[in-house]
Amino acid sequence: MNNRLAGKTAIVTGAGRGIGYAIAYRFAQEGAKVVLISRNAASCEGAAERINQELPGSCKAFPCDVADAAAVDACVKSILSEYPSVDILVNNAGITRDGLLMRMKEEDWDAVVNTNLKSAFLFVKALQRVLMKSPAGRIINLSSIVGISGNAGQANYAASKAGVIGFTKSVAQELAGRKVTSNAIAPGFISTEMTDAIPDKAREAILARIPLSDMGRPEDIANCALFLASDEARYITGQVLVCDGGMCM
Ligand code: NDP
């Protein structure tokens, strides 16, 4: 613990479990006040409570469906009434609805693109003025190596994650004048509920393609997010930080 985020307020979406939870926990360990957002109220509140047990008063849950524009608007209003200044926004909430294009339904496309990409637009739009007032505003968006390489069976997911990269770079250019940085993280194969759903045979095939020959941990991604959120990353914007054990070189 170095208090690298002391005095800062961070919002992390999809923080009920997995990578988002690890990011919220890591930020709280470094002294940030953290707003946790996820859709399921019980898991969102449970996650904030777990962190608060160890780091009292560090976290608060604001359950919200990040794909719903009206819900995001109301959620951001209630966050700002309690936390008038926000320094760090992590757009992490994400889902998969995998399937070959031939069988992919329009609703699978829409759900993935709205949850993974539109949500980032909604949160940045709602918070950009507040972030501009921070002396060191930070936007960190979760992409994926699949957004760089594409992946059979994940056309919707890959498109959303490639979109996140284009969005991140555009926001970086628009907000640089106000000293707000915007970067993306592209994880490889990280052990969470999302990847637990992958069948054993496919998992073995993926592991065989990882030079560091192991799955990543949520904490690996949380450390990347911490770096991008910290003062050490003040001169980095518009970049994609790949954290994948060497899978995508
Ligand atoms: P998990 O499935 O473990 O967790 C996803 C989180 O997002 C949950 O807290 C979930 O909350 C939340 N969420 C999903 N949909 C919504 C929604 N509509 N509104 C609010 N919250 C929502 O995923 P991971 O931790 O594995 O992934 C986190 C991010 O990292 C995602 O963007 C993912 O695409 C990306 N990523 C993950 C990789 C991996 O290998 N795990 C690899 C590359 C990228 P709830 O349960 O309440 O819906």
Those residues whose C-beta lies under 8 Å from the C-beta of residue 7, and which sit 6 or more positions away, are: 31
Residue with tokens 């992919």: 104
To 10 degrees, the CA torsion angle through 145, 150, 154, 157?
Answer: 60
Write the CB contacts of 137 (distance below 8 Å, at least 6 apart in sequence): 87, 88, 131, 175, 178, 179, 180, 181
Query: Whose CA is closest to atom 11 on ligand 1?
Result: 38
| Residue indicated by tokens 């889902």 | 95
Q: Among 13, 19, 168, which residue has the most ligand 1 atoms within 8 Å of its CB, making it the best to mutate?
A: 19
- Mind listing the domains of the chain with CATH numbers? 9-242 (3.40.50.720)
Reference 172, options 234, 233, 91, 238; nearest CA is 238
pLDDT, tens digit (0-9, with 9 covering 90-100), for 115-147 = 999 999 999 999 999 999 999 999 999 999 999
- Each residue's pLDDT tens digit, 77-125: 999 999 999 999 999 999 999 999 999 999 999 999 999 999 999 999 9
CA 96 – ligand 1 centroid, Å: 9
| Pocket lining: 185 vs ligand 1, CB cutoff 6 Å | no
Q: What distance, in Å, lies between the first and last C-alpha atoms of the chain?
A: 32
- Over residues 194-240, the pLDDT tens digits come to 999 889 999 999 999 999 999 999 999 999 999 999 999 999 999 99
pLDDT band at 1 (very low <50, low <70, confident <90, very high): low
Q: Calculate how far, in angstroms, residue 177's C-alpha sits from the geometric centre of ligand 1.
A: 31
